[in-house]
Amino acid sequence: MKLTMPHYDKAAVLVVGDVMLDRYWHGGTSRISPEAPVPVVRVDQIEDRPGGAANVALNIAALGAKAVLVGVTGEDEAAESLADSLRGAGVATHFQRIENQPTIVKLRVMSRHQQLLRMDFEEPFQTDAEALTRQVEQLLDQVKVLVLSDYGKGALQNHQALIKAARERGIPVLADPKGKDFSIYRGASLITPNLSEFELIVGRCEDEAELVSRGARLMRELDLGALLVTRGEHGMTLLRPDHAPLHLPARAREVFDVTGAGDTVISTLAASIAAGEELPQAVALANLAAGIVVGKLGTAAISTPELRRAVQREEGSERGVLSLEQLLLATEDARAHGEKIVFTNGCFDILHAGHVTYLEQARAQGDRLIVAINDDASVSRLKGPGRPINAVDRRMAVLAGLGAVDWVVSFSEDTPERLLKQVQPDVLVKGGDYGIDQVVGSDIVLAYGGEVRVLGLVENSSTTAIVEKIRSR
């Protein structure tokens, strides 16, 4: 299955469910309380993050999609903190605020990246289900996917009315289910229970065959479009009527904190489907996203550059020959990760020791090296008839095989000035005996605050000399 990054900017998702505030008190601890055998934490930082359905909406917005959130809160400081955080991230919020009831808050006391204590402040909400349904119906025409983010806290009372309203408009409904009764999700396009939640409904599954057969029965009973069972370190299993099961292995390199991983899965699924991806590709993207988020502390959103880099790694395209469009995306990701981009250019017709040494020196000027090479027609114009010796695709393949080179791209003009204007590298490097003002494109790079560096070349190494020597024999 080939993965590509969806156009999340074309996606719009409505999330309805239980919003909550994840609050973190951070501090050091170096002693035990004299009052009881517990550590004393000196709190020096308080951090608020959207949780539950709010975290789903935040993840969708972080991917670049339009996120709309409907939920229930109190009339209190926690609700204001939630609304401010979400609006700042670009999430359109529609809260049903209930007086004299607290917004759900999960307070975690942290020290040295370890959770010492969690305190929950919550009461079941007395939601006005009909008013919430009307509000959702008014918003459905603005979106392409509806997500029911159900934590069993009382915001979702009328599941069937919401599913019916979306299906009448041809809008897929994705549900992250909770509780012992999955019949409330009847008719959903997809539900995403974890293995424990799934087995609570269908009974313990001794192996994958039993999981598949019981999942198929559940889909028939509830008229589900699909079922995705998330299985922790065993990955995910996607079941669809009349399709073979799709088993995806876990992608986490290191599991640090599983908090919010389910939110990441359904948000990536929803945004990907809303962007036009088929379900298997959307599930594969969600699997990659989950592998990223469990390496972070607490509820956390992943960004488009993070997911794109994971896709590139998965497809083996993190390095190598790129088109201009791919290069611009790669450099955007590199900058998002704080990497310094170096650019050099040339014909590189016959690669020799001088080239290799020069490219290693160029790579040492930053974190990522772009090598832009003249295409065949421009080499002929610059070097004369009979050149290049090697066609552009072969020259690019050889350069891409060097450890010092990250990305190779070709250009058709005699100079790389157009490329420089679009890529805007941090450092422009040229080899030879030049002044900086003599380097082609130096004025472009210096104008936007970049650097230009001239490196020496290895003596007695010249492609032209090599060609002349071969021809003289």
Measured CA to CA, the distance from residue 425 to residue 343 in angstroms comes to: 6
Strand partners, 321: 408
- 76 among known catalytic residues: no
Q: What is the pLDDT of residue 258?
A: 47
pTM above 0.85, yes or no: no
Q: Nearest 5°: CA angle at 27, between 25 and 29? A: 130
User: Who's near 171: CB < 8 A, 6+ residues apart?
Assistant: 140, 143, 144, 145, 146
Measured CA to CA, the distance from residue 276 to residue 305 in angstroms comes to: 19
Same fold flag, 8-315 and 320-472: no
**Cβ contact 237:214 at 8 Å:** no
Judge whether 194 is annotated as a binding position: yes
Q: Which CATH superfamily is domain 320-472 in?
A: HUPs (3.40.50.620)
Q: What is the pLDDT of residue 125?
A: 80
Q: What is the pLDDT of residue 315?
A: 61
**Cβ contact 342:385 at 8 Å:** no
Strand partners, 72: 96
**Cβ contact 52:176 at 8 Å:** no
Judge whether 55 is annotated as a binding position: no
Tokens 């396009």 -> residue: 189
**Cβ contact 276:172 at 8 Å:** no
Measured CA to CA, the distance from residue 218 to residue 205 in angstroms comes to: 13
Measured CA to CA, the distance from residue 35 to residue 4 in angstroms comes to: 57
Q: Record the tokens describing residue 20, joined without a space.
A: 């909550």
User: What single-letter amino acid sits at 231?
Assistant: R
Q: Record the tokens describing residue 13, joined without a space.
A: 């998702």
Q: How far apart are the first and last CA of the chain?
A: 51
Judge whether 197 is annotated as a binding position: yes
Judge whether 195 is annotated as a binding position: yes
**Cβ contact 128:93 at 8 Å:** no
One digit per residue, pLDDT tens: the chain, 473 residues? 677 788 999 999 999 999 999 999 999 998 999 999 999 999 999 999 999 999 999 999 999 999 999 999 999 999 999 999 999 999 999 999 998 889 999 999 999 888 999 999 988 788 889 999 999 999 999 999 999 999 989 899 999 999 999 999 999 999 999 888 999 999 999 999 999 999 999 999 988 889 999 999 999 999 999 999 998 878 889 999 989 999 888 755 444 444 557 888 999 999 999 999 999 999 999 988 888 876 555 556 777 778 887 777 766 556 788 888 878 878 887 887 788 999 999 989 888 888 888 999 999 999 999 999 999 999 999 888 888 888 898 898 899 888 899 999 999 999 999 999 999 999 999 987 778 888 999 999 999 999 999 987 655 555 555 555 555 55
Q: Nearest 5°: CA angle at 112, between 106 and 115? A: 30
The fold of 8-315 is: UDP-N-acetylmuramoyl-L-alanine:D-glutamate ligase (3.40.1190)
Tokens 């290799």 -> residue: 356
Catalytically annotated residue among 263, 349, 375, 376:
263
Strands 427-431 and 451-455: parallel
The domain limits of the chain are: 8-315, 320-472
User: What single-letter amino acid sits at 139?
Assistant: L
Measured CA to CA, the distance from residue 13 to residue 284 in angstroms comes to: 19
Q: Nearest 5°: CA angle at 149, between 101 and 298? A: 85
Measured CA to CA, the distance from residue 205 to residue 70 in angstroms comes to: 35
